[in-house]
Every structure is written in C-alpha cells, then in structure tokens.
Chains A and B, each alone.
Chain A
Amino acid sequence: MTDSVRTQTSQRVLGLHAVFVYVFFYAPILILVVFSFSGDRLVGRWGGFTFDWYGEFLDNEQLTAFHDGAIWTSLKVAAVSTVIAVVLGTLAALSLERFRFRGQRVFDALLYLPIIIPDVTMGIMMLIFFSEAITFADTYLGFEFAKGLKTVVISHIAFNISFVSVVVRARLAGMDSRLEEAAMDLYATRWQTFAHVTFPQILPGVLGGALLALTLSLDDVVVTQFAAGPGATTLPVFVFSLIRRGVTPMINAVSVVMLVASLLLIALMLLADGLRSVADKSS
C-alpha cells in the first residue's frame, strides 16, 4: 500500500520534471516569437505590437535580394550540397553495408570523423586547406580561384556525406538482405534488383538523410564562416555577424523566419518517418 503510494508520488515528481524540461525547451522559442512583434527598439523589452521588424527584414537587400542575398545564398548552398552529399553518401552506405572490399575499415572510420569532429576544428581545416589550395593552384597548376560560394558548398558536402551515409546505413542494416537474394532468384538482374527492391526499401532513409543534410547545411555557421569568401554570406553567417555587432529587433524577425524554416523541414521529416513506418509494417 505504502509502496504504491510512493510509486504514485515518484511518478508525479517525474511527470513534473518532464513538464519542466519541455518548458525549458519551448519557452525561449515562444518568447523569441513574441518579441519579434515588439515595437520597442530594445530586443528584450515589450513595446506594443508591430510588424515593423518583418518589414525591415523584407526590405533588407543583403538578406532578401534575389540571387545574392543571404537567404538565396543559403538555399543554393543547401540544395547543391544536399544533392551531391545524398548521392555520394548513399553509394558509400551501400558499399559498406552490402559489400566487403579492401580498405573498408579505413573508409568506415574516415566516414565517421566529420560527424564527431567539433565544427571549430572542421572550420580551421577548411580555412587552412583552401588557402593552401589557392596557393598551390596558382603556383603549380597555373589557375586562380578564390574562396566563395563553391568553397562553402565543398565544405558542406564534406560533412553531409557522413550524416547521409549514417542514416541510409541504418536503414540498409534493418533491411533483410534476403530480399535482394529473392529478387535475383526471381530473374532480376543486379540493376533491376536495386531499382525494384533495394531502392524502394531504403528510400525513407535516403529522404531522411537528405532532410538532415539540408538542415545541417542551413544551420551551419562556423564551417561556412571559414570556408566562405566575399559574396558568399549565408543566412546564419549574416545573422551571427549581426548579433555580434549589436542586436536590433530585426534579428528577432529573421530568427523567427529561420525557426519557421526549421519547423517546415521537421514536418517533412516526420512525414518521411511516417512513410518509413508504413514501409516497416511488414517486418
């Protein structure tokens, strides 16, 4: 009797703690949204409802200009790096889960590193690498290039390949390799087996990996900052420099826009997850 009372009490305490954790997670985000509508010039003070900051945001050429505004830059970088990373990462996942080859363990380890390496280190790596590469290209190959959009894309692909391959690998590992054997037993060629059986099975993983890559690319500040040159300012880099220079409430509005973008991606992710669970019902 006392035991069940004690259990109930402890459950209640745990429940309360959970509520507290969620408040901790979501209150700051909500406060940010609320203050993005505040009329006061100080970021954290309420000064009546207004859309002014969103207006200022839309009028800001550096942010919203077509083609070279920070938003467009971010979207371009994210889209290109995601597509390339998804292709390379999926191939890498297939090779690791379905084949044995020489150098596999080294490859596997190399593939893990970009995930666990702190972004400052990765940023420094890119900074030094590109400066050396520029000198090298100039001296030995006789062509010139400068840091710009391309170098940002290159650096984003470098970390995104790994994340995509981890997600796709998890999916492949959960897939019975007998399905592929069955397809070949049923007269499918290698290519047909991939097209009709393997790919449909790993598609949710590929989509999940793509969304993760997109999110990471849109999120990244540190690596981008070191890999970017003039004219390649992504949205997070722009916002970061804005915050450092001194905050104006327009940042609140920009942040809310970024927040909404994140939430949209999450919604897509959950959708992909829903697809996955439908596909998984069989097992």
Chain B
Amino acid sequence: MTAIDAPEARQATPEFEALALRQERRRGFLLALPAWIYLFLFFAIPFGIVVVYSFATRTSRGGVALSAWNLASYERLGEDIVRNVLVRSLGLALLTTVICLVAAYPFAYYMTTRSTRVRNLMLVFVMIPFWTNFLVRNYAWRLILAEDGPWNTTVDTLGIDSVTGWILDLPSWIAPDVLVGWMADVPEPLFTKLAVVLGLVYSFLPFMILPLYASIERIDSSLFEASRDLYASARQSFLRVLLPLSMPGVVAGSILVFVPSLGAYVTPDILGGGKEVLLGSYIVTQFGTARNFPFGASLSVVLMIVMLTATIGYFRSGGRNL
C-alpha cells in the first residue's frame, strides 16, 4: 500500500518516493488522530493530573493546594497502617493468583486433550462467565454466603462447624495460626478475607484459563511423547517439557489475575463488607470520607507502577497476547 494519487505519469525520483512515503505517513497519522486526541484529552491528561496531585499538599479543609510540591504523600507509604493495607492487598492478590493457577492449569491441560468440538464447547462455557456481568457474579456469592443463606444452611446440616472447631483446637505447631484463622472463617465466611479471595477467584479464573489454554494448545503434543520416548516419567515430562513451554501462558494469566485483584474494589466491598481494608477501597476512601486527594493520588500511582512493571516485564519476557 504505497500508492498515492499522482494524476500525471512521470519518472520516479527520490523526491517523489520521499513524498509518497510522507503522504503515506500522513494518512496513517490522520487515521490515528481522532483516537490520539481523544486519549490524550481524556486519558493522558487525567493520568498526568493524578501524578501531579500526588506531589501536591492537602489543605486544612481537605482541598488540594497545587503549590508547595512535596513527597509527603509518598512518605506516608511507610506508615504502619498504610503498610498493613499494602501487605494485606498484595497477599490476597498473590493468594488469588496462586489458587487460580493451581485450579486453571489442570483444567486448561485437560481441554487441550479433548477433541476440537468438545474443546470449543468447553471454551464457550468458560467464556460465558467471563462475559457475564461482573457485579452480578459477585452478588451471587453475597447471596450464597448470606446469613441463613445456602452456605450457612449447608454448613449447619453437615456439621462442618465441629470439624473446623476440631482444627481450631489443634496445637499451633500442627495447624499454624494463619490456617487456624482461615478455618475459623469457614462457618461464617461473609465479610472475611476468605469471602474476598473466593470472590476474586470466581471473578478472575477465566483470565487464567484462557491464556493458559492458548499457550498449552500451541505446544506440539509430540514433544510430550518425545520426552516420554526419551525415558522421562510423566512427572518429568510435565516439569521439563510441558511447564517450561507453557510458561508464557502462566505469566500472562498470572498478570491478568494479579493486577485486577490488587486493585479490586467491588469484590472486597460486596464480600468483605469493607471490614478488611484493601488497596482499592483505601484509595477510594481518600477521595471520600478521608478527603486526602494527594495521598489517594500517590496510592494510585503506586498501583499503576506495579501494574506497569508487571506488564512491561511480561512484554520483555517475550509475551504478546495480553
């Protein structure tokens, strides 16, 4: 596509070629221009303002003074309360990612072993929750975990209470405190970390399955057979062949789950009831009741940096389909 509209036929010259190239560039630029302008106005500028705000000062009335630039908002990241929020959010996002990975890998692998028809059908039924309204999916768990809801009824009927109670009584060297804490939540999980992780896994599991499936499917199955032929056990074949080759999918899926989990706002709000303050809600609070815009902006910047680092890392490591 290098044609230009040249009404008269002449001999080509370097000048003409350069002109044609320039025209071609201009065409491309003009096509991009509307989106360029739009994103500059309504994305790049807002982005920039948030960064600027993060260096501004909060006035006594809760406004923002766009002078007296300082790093105070970033220094607050070291405070205990803030650090707790960050650590808790990172921990939950990490846990969500690990659970999704462990649940999705065998599933994605199993999909690739099925016939094309079954495979496509399985894919469609993974896509459906992915496309279904996010809020509704989270609300469904709120309903399930509600007081007198299906979960509690089932737990009561099965007497799981006594099982968890039994674990709670174990000495801490057998059942570590963390586990005991989590088990204690089982009978009534609503508004606990357990519910939040459940909701996040439920929300983002398709994000893990799809890239994993895509990368495992690309692997030539004869490679697995070849490794078996070369005396590798099934376990060795998995560890030495399948897993390394599907690494791009593992990384892509992990980022796709980790990033939104870290910034999650709706899920912790609906299922955590705001009891377990996580990064997303903490940021929102700064723009609501706390009215500390600069601090909220600095937290947003931190979140963006984590997200950008993860994404750039992914592209650097040769990943493509995000």
Contacts and interface: CB of A to CB of B under 8 A. Distances in A.
Is A–B contact present in the complex under a CB 8 A cutoff?
yes
Interface of A: 6, 10-11, 14-15, 17-18, 21-22, 24-26, 28-29, 31-32, 35, 42-45, 87-89, 91-92, 94-96, 98-104, 107, 110-121, 123-129, 132, 154-155, 157-158, 161-162, 165, 177, 180-181, 184, 190, 215, 218-219, 221-222, 226, 236, 239-240, 243-244, 247, 251-252, 255, 258-259, 261-263, 265-266, 269-270
Interface string B11-46: 000000000000011111101101110111011111
Interface stretch (B131-139, B173-181, B243-251): B131-139
A240 to B, nearest CB: 6
Interface secondary structure of A, over-half rule: helix
A250 B5 CA distance: 63
A112 B127 CA distance: 22
Contact of B39 (A15, A110, A252, A258): A110
A92 B32 contact: yes
B133 A99 contact: no
B103 interface: yes
Nearest to A155: B42
B266 A240 contact: yes
Interface stretch (B69-77, B145-153, B155-163): B145-153
A28 B139 CA distance: 9
B3 A266 contact: no
Nearest to B269: A244
14 contacts: A31-B140, A32-B136, A42-B148, A45-B149, A92-B35, A100-B25, A101-B32, A120-B303, A124-B297, A129-B45, A158-B38, A161-B39, A184-B3, A215-B131
A125 B1 contact: no
Contacts, number: 263
Contact of A116 (B125, B259, B300): B259
A181 B1 contact: yes
B280 interface: yes
B144 A118 contact: no
Contacts of A44: 143-152
B147 A110 contact: no
B113 interface: yes
Q: Which of B106, B131, B141, B262 has the most CB of A within 10 A?
A: B131
Contact of B35 (A35, A104, A111): A111
A269 to B, nearest CB: 7
B270 interface: yes
A179 to B, nearest CB: 11
B139 A239 contact: yes
Nearest to A193: B1
B189 interface: no
Interface of B: 1, 3, 5, 24-29, 31-32, 34-36, 38-40, 42-47, 49-50, 53, 103, 106-107, 109-111, 113, 122, 124-129, 131-137, 139-152, 202, 205, 234, 259-260, 262-266, 269-270, 280, 283-284, 287, 293, 296-297, 300, 303-304, 307-308, 311, 322
Contact of A32 (B43, B124, B139, B280): B139
B300 A28 contact: no
Nearest to A161: B35
A211 to B, nearest CB: 9
B271 to A, nearest CB: 10
Contacts of B25: 99-102
B143 A43 contact: yes
Given A29-B137, A87-B34, A116-B259, 19 more contacts: A15-B110, A28-B144, A28-B202, A29-B132, A44-B152, A95-B28, A98-B1, A99-B24, A100-B25, A101-B28, A124-B287, A125-B50, A128-B53, A162-B39, A222-B266, A240-B266, A247-B142, A263-B128, A266-B132
Contacts of B303: 118, 120-121
Nearest to A240: B135
The 3 nearest A-B residue pairs measured at CB: A99-B28, A44-B149, A118-B263
A158 B146 contact: no
B319 to A, nearest CB: 12
A255 B139 contact: yes
